[in-house]
Chains A and B, each alone.
Chain A
Amino acid sequence: MDNVMLARMIFGTSIAFHIIFATLGVGITLMILVAEIMRIIRKDEDYGTLAKRWTKGVAILLGVAIPSGTIVAVMLSLLWPGFMEIVGQVIALPFQVEIFAFFLEALFLSIYIYAADRLSPTMRIVSVFFVALGATASAVLITNAHAWMNTPRGFDLVNGQVANVNPLAAVNNPSFYVTSLHVVGSAYMTGAFVLASVAAYKLFRGGLTEREVTYHRKGLTLSLAIGLIMSVYTMNNGHDTAIMLHEHIPVKLAAAEGLFETQANAPLAIMGTPDPEAGRVVGGIEIPGMLSWLATGSTDGVVRGLYDYPQDEWPPLFVHTLFNVMVGIGSALFGLAVIFWALWFFRRKTNKPYPKWLLAGLVASGPLAMIGIETGWIFSCTGRQPWTIYGIQRTSEAATNSGNLGMLFFLFVSLYVVLLVLTGLVMHYYFNRNPVSKELQIMS
């Protein structure tokens, strides 16, 4: 296998591993903040207990997010030296500012966890607020660099040398706002659905006391309130992201939709496989005119197809599936949240338990959201291929020419597998040892 392929595999796996923990770090800290605020508004200690237990979980997750983030940050220089030479001269600012976001988060997290018993309630909220702010800021800042890779601005490449640098124009690139809003929205959404999953699982399994049921119901409704808001937001903003692709990176949108011919009245293809010979998606469902309407606001709008580009500039065509999975999950989760709230509304006078099928769906929602994050990111990065910096630097030009990559791939993949298993075990063991029933008893 060649070096570039190995470098892509190492980097892709590493970042796909980091994103699991990082996204939850962003999403769940928001939920902790919301719970701490609810506790004050409702004067209900159950929300304090929720916040405390979620913090426990987040502490474990961030303990893996931090070193895995360190890995990807250093690997960026190790595996993509050609890329980093340009980054260092053009888009170093978000990386630099991100450091301060990390400091903010690490400092306040240590304070919130190790000094919780010495803080006043206000200082606790202030500390979680800064943890959440730091996490969200890290997501926005790193997405800034990612958005710049998609829509690079702020420099020229003259004979392979960087010239006319304008770092602020680079930061202010056209896809930044819409992309970072999508990333943050989807992270909040994922945090909420993962916590909803946990509560739904407890209710689904049953065997709880009255007191525990009340507690888990509070967790479920709070998570699904945020979950509903964020899924509406993410879908809406995902639409804007697709319009951004239409305007700036049409080849990526064409690959996402499996559109070969440039045309007005372009159809939206759902699932199926794009077939370059046939020039269309085979085995999927086509909705005529829908893609034109989504991308341009009118069925007459012209959407560019893959045939407009030389074939060596096409992304791999399987990104169509990744894109469909992300959008499908977004719609499904929105549907679940709507059903839940409709049921909640009609049954608010009674105290009937939630139906099993709904709970089962909600148990699946957390893992589904995570799959949405993974497929969305892999779509975005792989859909940029063969470019690392779109239109400017090819992935093969960015990659290292060092040997030994095969061994490193093996080393890191085994590390990730072990850490995934261990983190799961630690969570399981900790929460089994300290069941919520104990905490609820102490309180009453």
Chain B
Amino acid sequence: MQDVYIAIIILWAFLFMYAIAGSIDFGAGFWAMYYRKRTDTKAASIANRYLSPSWEVTNVFLVLLVVALVSFFPGAAATLGTLMIVPFCLVLFLLTIRSAFMVYSYSVQKYTNMLVIISGITGLLIPALLISILPAAIGGFVEVVGDRQYVLIDQLFTSPTFYTHLGFGLSTELFLSALLLSDYAKEAGSEETYHVYRRNAIILGPITLSFAVGAILTLIPEAFWMFENMANEWLLFTLSLLAFSIGYSALWWPTKKFGVGRPRVAVLLIALQFGLASFAYGSAHMPYFLYPDVTIYDAFTNEVMFHLLLIGYGIGMAILIPVFIWFWRLFMKDKRYLKQESTH
């Protein structure tokens, strides 16, 4: 395989990891807000407990993604950066407020209510802003005047594909986080909460699927080239649909604990589905970063740098994976953490 494809696959893998971790993180923020007034379930406190130790790590994934983009594809980073300066800066702005309040409320209980609202609202806005980059990158929304490039904001906002992408991003986020939280609640032994999140997942599954189909169909008038490429990826899309169906059905599989549903299986299969579909979407996008000006070949770094980076990622991952596993056990598995009564 050509180096440039190895690079783009690694980049996709990081994007995928951040998309999953971020969805769950931001989604948990939304659910904590949504259920903050309910005293009959632990839905809010379970979401918060998941959130507390995880946001810092999720944030590093974002930085990882940006650094990988700049170092593998310096040319693309420059163009994307110039075009996306406003949405990116808004994301940074919101992210900072969110993270700061996360720590404030851990130290001062007085802020907890405000935190919950801030992290709920930013939990919807940040992914929405991030996903708006996708339709902008399929082209047709960029105008070049002299040596300056502009995003045609008005055309972007009036195009249906923008809204289907947006709907897809938000529903995926809420769907994935509801699934994970149902699993987390099950691990914590909270039956009530488990059923709350399971029901949310059941409702959101079909909505997510419809938005996905809608996003693809609305691409036809905007970017026919991409639609054609997608048709060639039919196998991946079919597999993805299959993973979705099995994963979704796992919510009804019988189990001993709480009677119905295997959320762990569902989370893994839906993540797989998401991975397959995003890989297919990405492949259809190739070789363009930004249609029609920036291709991955133009933007690629040099071979020497590429090989050193590859070695770097190898060594780094080998050192970090054991720490990740320890981390996972401390916060996802350890009953003493999951079951504590007071929330921090």
- Residues of A that sit less than 8 Å from B by CB: 56, 59-60, 62-64, 66-71, 73-75, 77-79, 81-82, 84-90, 92-93, 95-100, 102-104, 106-111, 114-115, 118, 162, 165-168, 400-404, 408, 411-412, 415, 419, 422-423, 426, 429-430, 433
Contact = CB atoms under 8 A, between A and B. Distances in A.
A402 B71 contact: no
B73 interface: yes
Given A60-B107, A77-B77, A93-B308, A66 B99 contact: yes
Given A67-B96, A85-B74, 19 more contacts: A62-B103, A64-B100, A70-B95, A73-B66, A77-B81, A78-B84, A78-B85, A81-B77, A85-B77, A88-B70, A96-B309, A96-B313, A100-B316, A107-B57, A114-B53, A114-B331, A118-B334, A401-B147, A411-B93
Contacts of B86: 404, 408
Interface string B39-66: 0000000000000111011011011101
B307 to A, nearest CB: 9
B82 A60 contact: no
B305 A78 contact: no
A92 B305 contact: yes
Contact of B100 (A67, A69, A103, A412): A67
Chain B CB within 10 Å, residue with most, of A77, A86, A423: A77
Nearest to B308: A167
B70 A95 contact: yes
Given A100-B316, A411-B89, A415-B97, A87 B74 contact: yes
B336 A118 contact: yes
26 contacts: A62-B103, A64-B96, A66-B59, A66-B99, A71-B96, A78-B84, A78-B89, A85-B78, A87-B70, A87-B74, A88-B305, A92-B70, A93-B305, A96-B316, A99-B316, A100-B316, A103-B60, A107-B323, A110-B57, A110-B327, A115-B337, A165-B305, A167-B305, A401-B82, A411-B89, A412-B93
Contacts, number: 213
A424 to B, nearest CB: 11
B210 interface: no
Contacts of B72: 88
Given A84-B78, A88-B70, A115-B337, A408 B57 contact: no
A161 to B, nearest CB: 11
Nearest to A61: B103
Contacts of B88: 74, 78
B221 interface: no
Contacts of B68: 96
Contacts of A109: 56
A73 B104 CA distance: 23
B312 interface: yes
Contacts of A408: 85-86, 89
Q: Taking each of B84, B89, B102, which has the highest tally of chain A beta carbons within 10 Å of its own beta carbon? A: B89
A179 B253 CA distance: 61
Given A81-B77, A82-B78, A96-B67, A110 B53 contact: yes
Contact of A111 (B71, B84, B108, B327): B327
A416 B256 CA distance: 52
B63 A70 contact: yes
A415 B302 contact: no
B344 interface: yes
A422 B118 CA distance: 15
Contacts of B190: none
Given A107-B323, A111-B327, A429-B108, A63 B77 contact: no
A84 B81 contact: yes
B88 to A, nearest CB: 6
B301 A89 contact: yes
A409 to B, nearest CB: 10
A410 to B, nearest CB: 11
B337 A77 contact: no
Interface string B14-58: 000000000000000000000000000000000000001110110
B320 A100 contact: yes
B63 A88 contact: no
A81 B70 CA distance: 10
A67 B304 contact: no
Contacts of A69: 63
Given A93-B308, A95-B70, A104 B100 contact: no
Given A81-B82, A107-B57, A73 B89 contact: no
Contacts of B313: 96
Contact of A56 (B93, B107, B316, B326): B107
A217 to B, nearest CB: 26
Contacts of B53: 110, 114
B157 interface: no
A13 to B, nearest CB: 13
B257 interface: no
B87 to A, nearest CB: 10
A422 B81 contact: no
Contacts of B67: 73, 92, 95-96, 98-99
